[in-house]
Amino acid sequence: MKLLNVMAAFAAMVLLGMFVSSDAQLQMNFYAKSCPKAEKIISDHIEKHIHNGPSLAAPLIRMHFHDCFVRGCDGSVLINSTSGNAEKDAPPNLTLRGFGFVERIKTILEAECPKTVSCADIIALTARDAVVATGGPWWSVPTGRRDGRISNLTEASNNIPPPTSNFTTLQRLFANQGLNLQDLVLLSGAHTIGVSHCSSMNTRLYNFSTTVKQDPALDSEYAANLKANKCKSLNDNTTIIEMDPGSRKSFDLSYYRLVLKRRGLFQSDSALTTNSATLKMINDLVNGSEEKFYKAFAKSMEKMGRVKVKTGSAGVIRTVCSVAGS
- How sure is the predictor about 305, in pLDDT bands with cuts at 50, 70 and 90? very high
- How sure is the predictor about 11, in pLDDT bands with cuts at 50, 70 and 90? very low
Is 311 annotated in a binding site? The answer is no
- How sure is the predictor about 6, in pLDDT bands with cuts at 50, 70 and 90? very low
- Confirm whether 45 is a catalytic residue: no
| Amino acid 163: pLDDT | 95
| Amino acid 20: pLDDT | 40
**Mean pLDDT (whole number) for 35-48:** 96
Is 161 annotated in a binding site? The answer is yes
Residue 273, pLDDT > 70, answer: yes
What are the tens digits of pLDDT across the range 150-179? 999 999 999 999 999 999 999 999 999 999
- DSSP assignment, residue 55? G
Is 51 annotated in a binding site? The answer is no
Residue 265, pLDDT > 70, answer: yes
Which is nearest to 95 in space by CA: 198, 196, 170?
196
Residue 28 Ramachandran class (φ > 0 left, ψ -120 to 50 alpha, else beta): beta
Is 192 annotated in a binding site? The answer is yes
Is 74 annotated in a binding site? The answer is yes
Residue 54, pLDDT > 90, answer: no
Average pLDDT of every residue of the chain: 92
Residue 21, pLDDT > 80, answer: no
Active-site option among 51, 64, 66, 197: 66
| Amino acid 93: pLDDT | 96
Rounded Cα–Cα distance for residues 296 and 29 (Å): 23
| Amino acid 50: pLDDT | 85
**Mean pLDDT (whole number) for 274-278:** 98
Is 264 annotated in a binding site? The answer is no
Buried b or exposed e, range 197-235, using 16+ CB within 10 angstroms:
bbbbbbbbbbebeeeeebbeebbeebbeebeeebbeeee
Rounded Cα–Cα distance for residues 186 and 282 (Å): 9
| Amino acid 13: pLDDT | 46
Residue 24, pLDDT > 70, answer: no
What are the tens digits of pLDDT across the range 102-119? 999 999 999 999 999 999
Which is nearest to 177 in space by CA: 260, 77, 73, 76?
73
**Mean pLDDT (whole number) for 300-311:** 98
Provide the 3-class DSSP secondary structure of residue 272: coil
Is 76 annotated in a binding site? The answer is yes
